[in-house]
Amino acid sequence: MATRGLPIHSNAVDAMIVHGAATGRLDRSRQRARWMTLAQRGDATAYRALLDDLGPLLTRFLRRRVRNNDDLADAYQDTFLALHRARFMYQSPRPIEPWLFTIARHVAADYGRQWQRRRRRELPADAAPEPTTDAPLRDLGAELATAIQALPSRQREALRLLKLQDLSIREAAARLGTTPGALKLRAHRAYLALRAAFRT
């Protein structure tokens, strides 16, 4: 490769490659911001495209912070549930990635504390830690909305009030005209159904 008979130095080629990669990342980030803006307006197709695109990014982020693979799958779901709950707080056209990573960092920290508590309870002092597998985590982002929609209406409503609207058990039960015990059972069944859907 030459310009006006002068060879282009390898550092210049490297700089062009890096610039091209940075431009690609910026374009991708802008596209995610556009999808999120459309999702805020109720565009389900844009929302699915956003979750599809963010899934591998979130997986890589969480894998460095969550030790246990079962916890990793749960942390992935909880991060997207938290994003869904807070989606109307997003301010377009700001990049969505720092916002997502802030949510994921808090979720991962919660699971890290849970993991430490379980290890202290379950393992004898001289037990060797159980090895974890590096099996790839399936991209679950696109399946989240579908899995929630597939729940029976009572379970879906319980999940929506408790997880997405952050109501207490008592508040959610009063809104649905049921007892706190019945509501907890619905939410528990919804959670089990989601876990099963994401692990098949």
The pLDDT score that the predictor gives to residue 122 is 61
Helix (H) or strand (E) holding 7, with range, is strand 6-7
The pLDDT score that the predictor gives to residue 121 is 67
What letter represents residue 20's amino acid?
G
Burial class (CB in 10 A: 0-12, 13-18, 19+), 45: exposed
**Separation of alpha carbons 51 and 31, rounded Å:** 12
Task: State the virtual CA torsion across 36, 136, 98, 166 in degrees, nearest 10.
Answer: 70
**Separation of alpha carbons 87 and 92, rounded Å:** 11
The pLDDT score that the predictor gives to residue 10 is 53
Q: How many CB atoms lie within 10 A of CB 74?
A: 19
Per-residue pLDDT tens listing for the chain (200 residues): 444 444 545 555 444 444 445 667 889 999 999 999 999 999 999 999 999 999 999 999 999 998 887 788 888 888 998 898 888 888 888 999 999 999 999 999 888 888 777 666 665 544 444 544 444 444 555 567 777 777 888 888 888 888 767 778 888 888 888 888 888 888 878 877 777 766 65
- Bridge partners for 6 per DSSP: 3
What letter represents residue 27's amino acid?
D
* Domains parsed from the chain with CATH numbers: 28-123 (1.10.1740.10), 151-200 (1.10.10.10)
